[in-house]
């Protein structure tokens, strides 16, 4: 799988490294890390904007976790292939379960079942997005199979 798609594999591993950095690095006191300051700023800006003013920090964190795992679903589907969509979702769920288990031992990190739900949802959305992105390829494959079948029928028919 990885040798057939070296660039996609590299991109996938790089993104998984980013996910690991976001989820598995120790957090010092509240408000001191760059990511915490950025997240706090995003929450304040969204709450100041009328259409999103009713969102809580928890809602925004949930949505961010979903968004972070959408590429995971896309990458796994592209690496494994459309027929292995369930495996792509399962791998995303196993990945998020591993993160949540590891977070129990990391200072400043909190393991939360909502993260498993949001990350799993993001992975599933990514798998669906990957399906949509590869529909053209699928239609092309179906057309080629039909053309080969017509050609085989025609050659069998002409030999009779």
Residue 4 clears pLDDT 60, i.e. is over it = yes
pLDDT the model gives residue 1: 59
Write out pLDDT tens, residues 78-103: 999 988 999 999 999 999 999 999 99
pLDDT the model gives residue 31: 47
3-state helix, strand, coil in the chain (%, to 5): 80, 0, 20
Write out pLDDT tens, residues 134-155: 887 777 777 787 878 787 777 7
Whole-model pTM? Answer: 0.79
* Cα(17)–Cα(79) distance, integer angstroms: 17
* Banded model confidence at residue 110, pLDDT cuts 50, 70, 90: confident
């Amino acid at each position: 799988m990885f040798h057939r798609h070296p660039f996609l594999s590299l991109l996938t591993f790089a993104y998984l490294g980013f996910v690991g950095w976001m989820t598995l690095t120790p957090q010092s006191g509240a408000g001191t890390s760059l990511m915490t300051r950025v997240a706090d700023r995003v929450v304040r800006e969204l709450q100041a904007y009328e259409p999103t003013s009713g969102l809580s920090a928890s809602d925004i964190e949930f949505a961010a976790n979903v968004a972070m795992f959408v590429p995971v679903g896309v990458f796994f589907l592209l690496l494994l292939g459309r027929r292995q969509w369930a495996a792509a979702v399962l791998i995303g769920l196993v990945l998020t379960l591993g993160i949540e288990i590891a977070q129990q031992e990391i200072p400043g990190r909190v393991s939360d079942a909502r993260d498993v739900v949001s990350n799993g949802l993001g992975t599933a959305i990514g798998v669906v997005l990957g399906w949509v992105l590869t529909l053209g390829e699928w239609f092309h494959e179906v057309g080629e199979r039909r053309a080969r079948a017509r050609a085989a029928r025609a050659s069998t028919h002409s030999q009779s």
